[in-house]
């Protein structure tokens, strides 16, 4: 069974976190929601979400490492040495790294992961990644990086992650059953 880690830092965007978790679980992916600073994370709009564990205690054999956007959540992720370590490990192992909204620029871009790559994110954040190539597509895949624009593209982002982890037929089935396509 494929495993995805979704990291929640205080200030995360609710839809960008919950939608991919939901779609991945519908596809049979084991999703571990990991809190950056505890087993509860508070969203940018004050919604408290219980996490399965804390990031420092997740198994190290994940197949996808996913970062929701939102502010200050994306900045909190960017400021974490543990997130950086997990990203470095993910790149070395060639597993999927997903980031949506502010997370591509604030986390991946600030740490040099998007240099020379195509990506997308929330409009205006591209100024933070001068050495990347910003696209306005809903979802962009370049190498092991999967990026998306924001709340309105969260379902497309989740379905692309399903496709990459368990295949296009399963992604189409999940989309159909969730009335997304």
Burial (CB count within 10 angstroms: exposed 0-12, middle 13-18, buried 19+), residue 145: buried
Task: Confirm if 64 and 38 have CB atoms less than 8 A apart.
Answer: no
Angle between helical axes of 168-177 and 14-26 (0-180°, round to 10): 110
86 is catalytic: no
Residue 28 CA to residue 115 CA, distance in Å, equals 33
Q: What 8-state DSSP symbol labels residue 94?
A: T
Residue 54 CA to residue 38 CA, distance in Å, equals 6
Residue 139 CA to residue 147 CA, distance in Å, equals 6
Catalytic residue among 51, 86, 101, 144: 101
Catalytic positions, please?
Answer: 101
């Amino acid at each position: 069974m494929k495993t995805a880690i979704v990291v929640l830092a205080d200030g995360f965007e609710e839809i960008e976190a919950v939608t991919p978790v939901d779609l991945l679980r519908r596809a049979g992916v084991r999703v571990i929601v990991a809190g950056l600073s505890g087993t509860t994370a508070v969203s940018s709009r004050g919604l408290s979400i219980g996490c399965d564990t804390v990031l420092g205690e997740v198994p190290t054999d994940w197949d996808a490492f996913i970062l929701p956007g939102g502010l200050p959540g994306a900045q909190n992720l960017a400021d974490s040495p543990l997130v950086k370590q997990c990203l470095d490990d993910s790149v070395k192992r060639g597993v999927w790294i997903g980031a949506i909204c502010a997370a591509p620029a604030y986390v991946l871009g600030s740490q040099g992961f998007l240099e020379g790559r195509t990506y997308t994110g929330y409009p205006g954040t591209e100024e933070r990644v001068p050495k990347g190539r910003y696209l306005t597509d809903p979802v962009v895949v370049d190498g092991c990086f999967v990026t998306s624009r924001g709340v309105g593209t969260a379902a497309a982002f989740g379905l692309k992650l399903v496709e990459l982890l368990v295949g296009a037929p399963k992604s189409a089935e999940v989309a159909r059953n969730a009335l997304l396509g």
